[in-house]
Structure 1
């Protein structure tokens, strides 16, 4: 045996702030493989929702509210699984109650402002969500995460309910159809995420094809200006695509029920943006 004593390993020299910042810029976080897989069920569900809302828009605003309610119930059914929440049945019940309340305000209001009672319905739904947390008997694990998930789900449903008043606006049914065209056609760009060369351009491609589809609807309708229609389609495609990309890394996205919830969330989110564009003063079909 050697008589030379073993030397203790020298402690690592701490990096300076500049070195840490440079290292963070060079190292790119790797996305999980599931985030780079196209989900055909989510794409199909998004297209189906877009087609349903576009068709009901030419019938009556009440049918649009019912179509949005259907998506809200789908979200309530799959949201707890998608986010792996505790107390899934209670969360589903809260979101379903919120869907009923907010849809009821959209059905009951026949004069402008059409979303007058929406804040009250949303507030009552949030209170129901807090009561659900107080009534839990499982020790309330992950309480903050559960409350945040319930309130975000209610916010998504309220955003989708804003689609219902759009047909009340002059040529609003054409504007709603242009928005839904952007939503449905934009979803066809989701498979670009699986192609390495097109991955970073997937959002841009979705915006391009979504805006183009909305312009086609405007041209066929004849009464809708192509500029507002392109903006509606572009925003609908961009928001829905970004929402699905944000939810894609979640482990539960491999399950069909969670994929339907992701499609419902990405479809409902565009409602408040479309309503803001259509109700703005410069929107002149």
Structure 2
């Protein structure tokens, strides 16, 4: 009877033994993907909606801050329409109504405030919208299933809308219209790189490609528009492309993303969520 020490170790089961190139290739082909198949599919409707929003905000930025607020409000209403379906929330009509009310309140503060600070009444509008969200939960007649999830999703939607409203006062800043155009160039052109996620060789580089393309397009737009500072414009495009791409990738595994309304909501989310970052960069000493 052989001793335990005489039994040879099985090298294939030993994680310390490196695999050959052929074994790694076979393992990569047979391994179960970490993400569902739907998360690796490009969504043309989301891409088109993102590009359309970027073009609209870039053009309205050269018109007036009020038009930018209306464009952002339109995106907020799209988010309110599709957010419950995107997250499969209970009481979808009530949730959409709350988000629509929040959009109207926050857009209204941006339209009516004509002096600096231009977001002075934004916290008050957001607070009223949150109170309406809790009132909606109290008025539900379905037994309030998934109450915590519903409250968290509704307040998250309001926070995203408030982040997008921060784009409205950017044209008031010196060269703010050029900065907004650069950021929207990065947002729109960066969205065109979303099909990279369906290509295995480019999938892990998709975010980097979006950042590179977004920053380059923002730099080009800043140069054509005659912006006084090119490097900050490129930074805005890079940040807009990166945050929006990451947001769409985060929402992609949700089962509802196969539906058109949910795709529009995902696009609106990726467009609005960049607003507060762009506002902070533009109002920082970098643009002083």
Q: 2:109 aligns with which of 105, 122, 127?
A: 105
Which residue pairs with 2:99 in the alignment? 95
Please list the CA deviations of residues 90-110 of structure 1 after superposition, one character each: whole Å capped at 9, or x if unmatched. Answer: 000000000000000000111
Alignment pair present for 1:261 and 2:265: yes
Correspondences of 1:41-120 after superposition (within 5 Å): 41-120=45-124
TM-score by length of 2: 0.88
Query: Runs of 5+ in structure 2 lacking a partner?
Result: 1-14, 16-30
Query: Runs of 5+ in structure 1 lacking a partner?
Result: 1-18, 20-26
Which residue pairs with 2:156 in the alignment? 152
SS at match of 2:284: coil
How far residue 28 of structure 1 moved from its aligned partner, in angstroms, is 8.3
Quick one: distance in 2 between partners of 1:131 and 1:115?
Answer: 25
Quick one: distance in 1 between partners of 2:122 and 2:207?
Answer: 31
Correspondences of 1:137-176 after superposition (within 5 Å): 137-176=141-180
Q: 1:28 to 1:231 in 2, by over 3 A?
A: farther
Which residue pairs with 1:273 in the alignment? 277
SS at match of 1:282: helix
SS at match of 2:53: helix
- For the aligned residue pairs, the C-alpha RMSD in angstroms reads 1.2
How far residue 282 of structure 1 moved from its aligned partner, in angstroms, is 2.0
Quick one: distance in 2 between partners of 1:262 and 1:213?
Answer: 23
Q: Is the 8 A contact 1:156 1:265 kept in 2?
A: yes
Quick one: distance in 2 between partners of 1:36 and 1:109?
Answer: 43
Please list the CA deviations of residues 143-198 of structure 1 after superposition, one character each: whole Å capped at 9, or x if unmatched. Answer: 01000100000000000000000000011000000000000000011000000000
SS at match of 2:89: coil
Q: Is the 8 A contact 1:175 1:224 kept in 2?
A: no
Which residue pairs with 1:23 in the alignment? none
Which residue pairs with 2:249 in the alignment? 245
TM-score by length of 1: 0.89
Quick one: distance in 2 between partners of 1:221 and 1:93?
Answer: 40
SS at match of 1:137: coil
